[in-house]
Amino acid sequence: MSNNHQVNEKGLLIILSSPSGAGKSTLAQRIKSWDENCVFSISATTRKPREGEQDGKDYYFISEQEFHEKVSNDEMLEHAEVFGNFYGSPMAPVLSSIDQGYDVLFDVDWQGSQQIKNSSLGKYVLSIFILPPSIKELESRLKSRNKDSDEVISNRMAKSVEEISHWPEYDYVVVNDDVDKTEEKLKTIITAERLRLSQQPGIVRFVRGLNNEFGEL
Ligand code: ADP
Ligand code: 5GP
């Protein structure tokens, strides 16, 4: 991280939510590939790993007992039951990352988003809702991902109506039709958010320097 005037006091908490299959994980990976100032919040879940998923990279795969212990010890920034499994975002890595000026990217459902916004870190939140171009396309993406059973897919499709109903609670809404164009839109949103005055406390010192230069002319 550079030490110039654009370094933020605290990083942003960037929340991506969408109905399952709309493309959050794909987009999160793409953001990560160009944004060196961004780290993922790795959630803990009681869901079983999908083929290819790695513990500590995609999720922390833990038992229900461990999950409930972490919740009662206040170790989770937010937590929720989604599709019959428990998911939560561990608090400690988020605090340490934003204190160092890193942005933290969350892939959480609407319940998680509401809890993070209502937490003491709410003022640092940038929330983005991803919509699929159509429900037919959403189903086809869930199927083409080829990682869930037919039963799991129909359960997720049934829940997508509820998830989509929360779109007005987000700062930005983006339809993920063409993935490259969506990625560009996310880049624009994140870049603009970083340039907010409230995100650039170092700018005061920078402008003072400009004024000093005037004095030396
Ligand atoms: P989510 O994380 O929201 O559940 P994923 O990122 O896993 O969704 O995407 C679901 C499937 O759709 C994956 O196979 C992914 O490659 C594909 N996908 C994502 N975005 C697009 C897009 N814009 N166009 C076509 N397919 C996409
Ligand atoms: P999946 O099982 O497909 O990885 O995720 C299912 C849903 O759980 C997605 O909507 C995802 O955003 C949500 N999810 C993943 N991690 C968390 C988390 O830590 N907290 C909350 N509230 N939702 C999560």
| Domain layout of the chain by residue ranges | 13-156+169-216
CATH number of 13-156+169-216: 3.40.50.300
% of the chain exceeding 90 in pLDDT = 80
Question: Which pLDDT score is estimated for 5?
Answer: 41
pLDDT, tens digit, for every residue of 144-177?
987 788 998 998 899 999 999 999 999 999 999 9
pLDDT, tens digit, for every residue of 60-90?
999 999 999 999 999 999 999 998 999 999 9
| Residues within a 6 A CB radius of ligand 2 | 20, 43, 47, 78, 80, 82-83, 87-89, 107-109, 111-112
Distance 65 CA to ligand 1 centre (A): 32
Q: Using the atom order of ligand 1, give the atom closest to the CA of residue 182.
A: 23
SS3 readout for the chain: CCCCCCCCCCCCEEEEECCCCCCHHHHHHHHHHHCCCEEECCCEECCCCCCCCCECCCEEECCHHHHHHHHHCCCEEEEEEECCEEEEEEHHHHHHHHHCCCEEEEECCHHHHHHHHCCCCHHHEEEEEEECCCHHHHHHHHHHHCCCCHHHHHHHHHHHHHHHCCHHHCCEEEECCCHHHHHHHHHHHHHHHHCCHHHCCHHHHHHHHHHHHHHHC
